[in-house]
């Protein structure tokens, strides 16, 4: 991934960013060419791995793969209108762009065809997302025989991370006046959450 210096976070910020990733595209170079699957994931900082699962019917996990596997995740992104820039009023020398927070995570892919491993992973994944709810659903709420059948229908994936590339492209290369315009424009367009992240990065 091409990352200009002003869009590159520190190593510490990049690892913190991995913990915010909820989903990603798993890309593998298989004997049948490139394969990709979108799936929910969890970053486990203590072991520096990302885990998730695939449907057993998805042949991506069965096919021999070559070299590193890749997870591509984008947590926030937005179109940036040139009309938001103060520079537009001065020179008209502005063009549209796109801002985003994204990560390319490379590593060795390990397949887990084990019900006990899967139960731990699925429980952690469910707890992660259900923690945002007032009354969280738990794996234990489902009948055990039903849960067993569901677990047999999936396989686990574990990406042992070898390197990461993270880009925070959030208008850092713009003047303070243009940056204020971007924040105001995003907020007016109903994308205040992303505007707040740009504001935080500015400070």
Return the DSSP state at 9: P
Please report whether residue 91 resides in a domain: no
Looking at residue 185, what is its pLDDT?
95
Please report whether residue 187 resides in a domain: no
Strand 23-30 relative to strand 33-44, pairing: antiparallel
How much is the average pLDDT of 7-35? 94
Domain of residue 130, residue span: 5-80+97-173
The enclosing domain of 147 has a CATH number of 2.30.110.10
Tell me: pLDDT of 202 over 80: no
| Among candidate residues 95, 73, 71, the one with its CA nearest the CA of residue 83 | 95
Q: Spell out the residues 6+ positions from residue 176 whose beta carbon is closer than 8 angstroms to its own.
A: 202
Q: Spell out the residues 6+ positions from residue 13 whose beta carbon is closer than 8 angstroms to its own.
A: 166, 168
Q: Give me the percent of the chain exceeding a pLDDT of 70.
A: 99
Look at the chain and report how many structural domains it folds into: 1
The span from the CA of 85 to the CA of 173, in Å, is 12
Average pLDDT in the chain: 94
Are 121 and 156 within 8 A, CB to CB? Answer: yes
Tell me: pLDDT of 168 over 80: yes
Query: Bigger pLDDT: 198 or 159?
Result: 159
The pTM assigned to this predicted structure is 0.90
Tell me: pLDDT of 201 over 80: no
The span from the CA of 21 to the CA of 113, in Å, is 24
Return the DSSP state at 66: -
The span from the CA of 139 to the CA of 144, in Å, is 9
Q: Which two tokens mark 138?
A: 């738990």
Please report whether residue 189 resides in a domain: no
Please report whether residue 201 resides in a domain: no
Looking at residue 154, what is its pLDDT?
97
Q: Which two tokens mark 142?
A: 């489902």
Give the position of tokens 């400070």: 203
Give the position of tokens 């105001």: 184
What 3-state class would DSSP assign to 12?
helix
Please report whether residue 114 resides in a domain: yes
Please report whether residue 141 resides in a domain: yes
H/E segment holding residue 111: strand 97-112
What would the pLDDT profile of 96-122 be if each residue is shown by its tens digit?
A: 999 999 999 999 999 999 999 999 999
Looking at residue 109, what is its pLDDT?
97
What 3-state class would DSSP assign to 51?
strand
Looking at residue 94, what is its pLDDT?
86
Alpha helices, DSSP H, located in the chain: 11-18, 86-90, 115-130, 144-152, 176-188, 192-202
Looking at residue 203, what is its pLDDT?
62
Tell me: pLDDT of 143 over 70: yes
Tell me: pLDDT of 72 over 90: yes
């Amino acid at each position: 991934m091409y990352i200009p210096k002003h869009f590159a976070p520190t190593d510490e910020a990049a690892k913190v960013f991995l913990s915010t990733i909820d989903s990603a595209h798993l890309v593998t170079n298989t004997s049948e060419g490139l394969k990709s699957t979108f799936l929910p994931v969890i970053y486990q900082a203590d072991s520096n791995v990302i885990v998730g699962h695939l449907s057993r019917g998805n042949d991506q996990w069965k096919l021999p793969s070559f070299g590193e596997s890749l997870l591509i995740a984008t947590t926030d992104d937005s179109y940036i209108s040139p009309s938001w820039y103060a520079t537009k009023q001065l020179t008209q020398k502005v063009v549209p762009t796109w801002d985003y927070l994204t990560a390319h995570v490379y590593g060795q892919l390990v397949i887990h065809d084990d019900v006990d491993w899967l139960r731990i992973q699925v429980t952690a994944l469910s707890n992660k997302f259900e923690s945002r709810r007032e009354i969280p659903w738990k794996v234990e709420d489902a009948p055990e025989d039903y849960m067993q059948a569901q677990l047999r229908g999936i396989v686990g994936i574990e990406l042992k991370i070898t390197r990461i590339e993270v880009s925070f492209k959030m208008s850092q290369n713009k003047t303070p006046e243009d940056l204020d315009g971007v924040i105001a424009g995003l907020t007016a367009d109903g994308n205040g959450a992303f505007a707040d992240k740009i504001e935080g990065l500015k400070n």
